[in-house]
């Protein structure tokens, strides 16, 4: 047999490029996009987040960000990459434009397919970088784009990390249709992927009282086994047709539950795996209508478990019979059983009644709070981070806040203020009793910070002198994988210029910028390095500066590097 290498891949026009949107801030949407290289500074530069206001308790980590979510996500990736796992994002929910050719009030949703795929690809790649190793991403989409989106998610997360799909009924079947519509679309989808198969995902399942109703099967051995063999290190008694009986009767704690050994049971259940490994196809040796009694298997009150093979020629499936689990028998009055998440949620009524939730209206695409409550309840615990980079009317952040999760929400244009800021401020101030507020007895509290994505560090092929020295230094460090050392500022002795320090593993950075023409003298440079070496021993020192340096490159210490700016930044983004 010929073996083929490679993998399935979704392809589209200009897949190797990115999209640049000129943003209409008033309308809160991107104007006609243009294709650019992936490392174009306009789409790949992490930007500063400028604090515009604090709401409620200032001792919080919640963030509402106004601006292009691509640039905001690039910045968040830099901010989060050195954090501990517990302080990264546990759950991402996004409800991106469905690309169905309808012009929403607040979104330009009529993108060409290749543009939409590029827009989604670039953002999902960044979202994955923000997730905890045991994190979950939930992407809400309609049928028209679900198949493309699933292939895209397979490519980024890996097909093996597909977790589930939940089908959401968002419309009543009886809702009035436009007369030119043939099909009445009732269902939307939420595609769920885990970040890594290596990290187990904890899910907060609901519980229900254990039911014995299915334990209604009873097996009688009428004769001695036909033969006894060893399979998988276990003793197996084999009974032929007519030497045993299987009957259904009244359920009891002594009864058995009948389970088909097929589908996912063959992989996730120990009895299913035993059937898969030892009984599938065995009818060619033992015949049909065979009962197998396998000893020392299972978790019930028996020391054995019964299996049956196919009953007639051409059939392949079999069954097994298990008793009531021991843990249930030991605590019959108090034992609860985990309830699996059904993958169909009828929420037509909730979608129909959510228009006024949060005190803000969104004519198309608004999601009810109960939907986000269910997702956040299943996949997070108090204190975990929830992120939504297509925040819309603010539902995800509002629900996360009420459920005592940390949250980050990103929205573009004036809608960030007219909808999200307004809604979240009312949540903090106990002015919102809509949605899930009453069920959670929400009484306000907490707080958040409101940021706006800042300008580029480059302006007219020079440093952006509209920025402060501190802001410029932060931006330089972020562009070269350093983080600011907070509260550690210095001044040049001869000129008095203020400068800031950054750090990364094994290295310290200095950012020295001035609008005039100045030169760093050899003596001053040596003193700088000497002072830093005392404070941060065994660290390489990199100086980012637009000043002249009165030292020849070959005379620099091997633990000292001088990077000219803006030249090094322009080179990074291939602007020169």
Assess if residue 382 is contained within a domain: yes
The closest alpha carbon to 189, from 156, 136, 145, 151, belongs to: 145
Q: What is the pLDDT of residue 103?
A: 40
Last residue of a domain, one of 404, 429, 453: 453
Which DSSP string do the residues of 377-394 spell out, in sequence order?
Answer: HHH--TT-EEEESS-TTT
pLDDT at 460: 94
Same-domain check for residues 326 and 302? yes
What's the confidence (pLDDT) of residue 144?
84
Q: What is the CATH number of the domain that holds 488?
A: 3.40.1350
Within a domain: 5:
no
Tokens of 93: 């929910």
Look up the CATH number of the domain holding residue 446: 3.40.50.150
Instruction: With respect to residue 10, please indicate whether it lies within any of the assigned structural domains.
Output: no
**Can you tell me the distance from the alpha carbon of 139 to that of 122, in angstroms, rounded to the nearest whole number?**
15
Decide which of 337, 370, 393 is a domain's last residue. 337
Q: Please give the pLDDT value at position 439.
A: 94
| CA-to-CA dists, residue 291 to 37, 222, 272, 304, 321, angstroms | 65, 12, 15, 13, 11
Q: How many structural domains comprise the chain?
A: 3
271 and 389 housed in the same domain = no
Residue 3 forms part of a structural domain: no
Predicted local confidence at residue 333, as pLDDT: 67
Whether the CB-CB separation of 542 and 561 falls below 8 Å is answered with: yes
Residues 42 and 191 in one domain: yes
Rounded Cα distance between 22 and 126, Å, is 20
Q: Is residue 40 located within the same domain as residue 181?
A: yes
| In a shared domain, residues 234 and 285 | yes
Among candidate residues 401, 433, 453, the one where a domain is terminated: 453
194: tokens are 């885990």
Are residues 184 and 42 part of one domain?
A: yes
- What does the pLDDT look like over 432-489, one tens digit per residue? 999 999 999 999 999 999 999 999 999 999 999 999 999 999 999 999 999 998 877 7
- Does the residue 458 lie in any domain? no
> In this structure, are 418 and 528 located in the same domain?
no
- For residue 510, the cross-strand partners are 501, 543
Q: Are 517 and 380 in the same domain? A: no
How much is the pLDDT for 245? 97
- Are residues 172 and 88 located together in one domain of the fold? yes
Q: Which two tokens stand for residue 531?
A: 């002072």
Whether 331 maps to a domain, the answer reads yes
**What pLDDT shows up at residue 100?**
55
Same-domain status, 40 and 155: yes
Helices in 139-238 by DSSP H: which ranges?
A: 143-157
487 and 532, same structural domain?
A: yes
DSSP state for residue 332 in the 8-state scheme:
T
The reply to whether 6 falls in a domain is no
Based on the fold, state whether residues 229 and 319 are members of the same structural domain: yes
Q: Is residue 360 within 8 Å of 225, Cβ to Cβ? A: no
Domain that holds residue 36: 18-201+342-453
Using only the alpha carbons of the chain, give its radius of gyration: 31
Query: Which of 301, 309, 291 lies closest to 215 in space, CA to CA?
Result: 301
Q: What is the pLDDT along the chain (576 residues), one digit of tens a residue?
A: 566 666 678 899 999 999 998 766 666 566 678 999 999 999 999 999 999 999 999 899 999 999 999 999 999 999 998 899 999 999 999 999 876 554 444 555 556 888 899 999 999 999 999 999 999 999 999 988 899 999 999 999 999 999 999 999 998 887 666 556 778 889 999 999 999 988 888 899 988 888 889 999 999 999 999 999 999 999 999 999 999 999 999 999 899 999 999 887 888 888 999 999 999 989 999 999 999 999 999 889 899 999 999 999 888 889 999 999 988 888 876 677 788 899 999 999 999 999 999 999 887 789 999 999 999 999 999 999 999 999 999 999 999 999 999 999 999 989 999 999 999 999 999 999 999 999 999 999 999 999 999 999 999 999 999 999 999 999 999 999 999 988 777 776 555 578 899 999 889 999 999 887 888 888 888 888 888 888 888 888 899 999 888 777 666 667 788 899 999 999 999 998
Write down the pLDDT at residue 26: 63
DSSP collapsed to 3 states, 32-78: CCEEECCCCHHHHCCCCEEEEEEEECCCCCCEEEECCHHHHHHHHHH
Query: Does a structural domain hold residue 8?
Result: no
């Amino acid at each position: 047999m010929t073996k083929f290498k490679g993998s399935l891949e979704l392809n589209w026009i200009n897949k190797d490029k990115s999209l640049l949107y000129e943003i209409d801030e008033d309308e809160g949407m991107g104007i006609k996009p243009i294709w650019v290289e992936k490392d174009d500074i306009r789409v790949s530069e992490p930007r500063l987040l400028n604090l515009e206001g604090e709401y409620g308790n200032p001792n919080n980590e919640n963030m509402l960000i106004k601006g292009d979510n691509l640039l905001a996500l690039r910045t968040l990736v830099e901010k989060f990459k050195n954090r501990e796992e517990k302080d990264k994002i546990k759950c991402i929910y996004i409800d991106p434009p469905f690309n169905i050719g309808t012009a929403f009030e607040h979104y330009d949703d009529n993108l060409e397919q290749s543009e939409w795929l590029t827009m989604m690809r670039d953002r999902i790649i960044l979202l994955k970088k923000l997730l905890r190793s045991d994190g979950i991403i939930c992407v809400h989409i309609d049928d028209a784009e679900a198949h493309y989106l699933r292939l895209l998610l397979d490519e980024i997360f890996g097909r093996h990390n597909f977790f589930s799909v939940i089908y959401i009924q968002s419309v009543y079947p009886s809702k009035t249709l436009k007369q030119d519509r043939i099909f009445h679309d009732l269902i939307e989808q939420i595609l769920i992927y885990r970040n890594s198969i290596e990290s187990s995902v904890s899910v907060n399942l609901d519980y229900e009282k254990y039911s014995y109703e299915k334990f209604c099967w009873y097996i009688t051995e009428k004769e001695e086994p036909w033969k006894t063999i060893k399979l998988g290190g276990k003793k197996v008694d084999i009974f032929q047709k007519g030497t045993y009986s299987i009957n259904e009767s009244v359920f009891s704690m002594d009864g058995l539950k009948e389970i088909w050994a097929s589908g996912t049971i063959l992989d996730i259940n120990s009895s299913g795996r035993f059937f898969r490994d030892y009984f599938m196809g065995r009818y060619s040796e033992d015949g049909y209508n065979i009962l197998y009694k396998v000893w020392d298997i299972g978790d019930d009150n028996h020391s054995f478990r019964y299996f049956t093979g196919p009953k007639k020629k051409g059939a392949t499936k079999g069954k097994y019979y298990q008793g009531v689990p021991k843990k249930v028998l030991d605590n019959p009055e108090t034992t609860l059983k985990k309830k699996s998440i059904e993958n169909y949620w009828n929420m037509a009524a909730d979608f129909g009644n959510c228009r006024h939730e949060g005190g803000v209206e969104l004519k198309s695409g608004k999601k009810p709070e109960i939907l986000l409550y269910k997702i956040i309840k299943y996949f997070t615990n108090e204190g975990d981070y929830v992120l939504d980079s297509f925040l819309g009317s603010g539902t995800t952040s509002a629900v996360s806040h009420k459920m005592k999760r940390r949250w980050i929400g990103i929205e573009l244009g004036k809608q960030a203020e007219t909808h999200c800021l307004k809604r979240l401020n009312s949540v903090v101030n106990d002015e919102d009793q809509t949605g899930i507020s009453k069920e959670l007895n929400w009484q306000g509290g907490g707080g958040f910070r409101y940021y706006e994505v800042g300008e580029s560090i480059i302006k007219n092929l020079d440093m952006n002198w509209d920025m402060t020295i501190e802001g410029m230094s932060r931006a330089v460090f972020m562009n070269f994988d350093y983080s600011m050392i907070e509260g550690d500022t210095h001044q040049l002795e001869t000129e008095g210029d203020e400068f800031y320090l950054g750090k990364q593993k094994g290295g310290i950075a200095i950012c020295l910028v001035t609008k005039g023409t100045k030169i760093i003298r050899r003596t001053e440079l040596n003193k700088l390095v000497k002072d830093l070496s005392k404070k941060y021993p065994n660290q390489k020192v990199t100086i980012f500066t637009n000043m002249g340096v009165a030292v020849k490159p070959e005379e620099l210490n091997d633990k000292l590097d001088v990077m000219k700016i803006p030249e090094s930044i322009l080179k990074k983004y291939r602007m020169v």
